[in-house]
Structure 1
């Protein structure tokens, strides 16, 4: 019996021991000079929807801790209001909002989970959850980080509408169809 109590005590003590996990909290401001563009194609044409970065909710809270060569993040998200995208015209803006199910899910969330340096210190592998229309998917995204007074973060991501249970819209009795794959390109200026 004493042996069982001793083992339980050791396991309990180890469960509350943290190594190299000092939690840090800060905040950052994503500058209005930043760009975020959603690009797609149809069987006829290409389109791009530009996010109005002046309407970002700043500052963004960042909570992180070091875990070996990685930084792990908690509750660090870039929240994009769907209504802040401009696709170049009222009709396509309306279609874009409909694709994203904006009435029910008015925001896209990019949730930073982890970063790790690659061989070139300016290249970073990030682990990000992308939440669209209430569905969250995890992606590994290589990004380039430059720091010269302000931090510049560049990268891109390919997602499929079908991964988020989003229907590809059809126009003109099905003659024009949006392709399933879209690209999200970002160039964030962080202060």
Structure 2
């Protein structure tokens, strides 16, 4: 009888796995990096985000599932478009025109799910919604996670700017053209926020 009750309690626990929403907050360390890398037909460029803009703790809401998946709700990283530095006033202005920053001043990254990577046990798959210039697209890409107290999160998301109805800018009478595919590189150091 005890074995039966034990089995029922396990099944009941499994049945309700994922039903409980867990909540915490994280802070992003100033040593973190978010970089957008692009190429032209002549050279390449890097636009680095000023991580000091990420002062406030980021609320994280998630449910755990038995298969190791975490499903998130309202877990959002908001980046001010004007806080990207591409190396000079001219290219910064071009970058903000590309992102339509006057109309859409924020790039919004919403974490939706993380789960096991099908081929590499050292990686996880992250599903995000990315909003640029008022258009939202879903992406799944591999991410490396390390650490316990401070979580190191590394990944590179490649995307085509035309997916967001953005036109690659041209310079020098059209001789220099920005290529459509850009990379967003994340190297975030996140720590649980503890309010004293």
Q: Tell me the TM-score normalized by structure 1.
A: 0.87
- Within 5 Å, which residues of 2 pair with 1:7-156? 19-20=16-17, 21-69=19-67, 70-118=69-117, 121-156=121-156
CA RMSD of aligned residues (A): 1.3
Partner of 1:104: helix, strand, or coil? coil
Partner of 1:167: helix, strand, or coil? coil
- Within 5 Å, which residues of 2 pair with 1:151-162? 151-162=151-162
| 1:122 Cα deviation from its structure 2 partner | 3.8
Gaps of 5+ in 1: 1-17
Out of 22-31 and 116-125, give the one that drifted further: 116-125
- Which portions of structure 1, spanning 4 or more consecutive aligned residues, are displaced by more than 4 angstroms? none
Equivalent residue pairs, number: 174
Measure, in 1, the Cα distance between the counterparts of 2:137 and 2:149: 33
Partner of 2:87: helix, strand, or coil? coil
Measure, in 2, the Cα distance between the counterparts of 1:57 and 1:120: 33
Q: Tell me the TM-score normalized by structure 2.
A: 0.85
| 1:120 Cα deviation from its structure 2 partner | 5.2
Gaps of 5+ in 2: 1-14, 192-196
Measure, in 1, the Cα distance between the counterparts of 2:121 and 2:90: 44
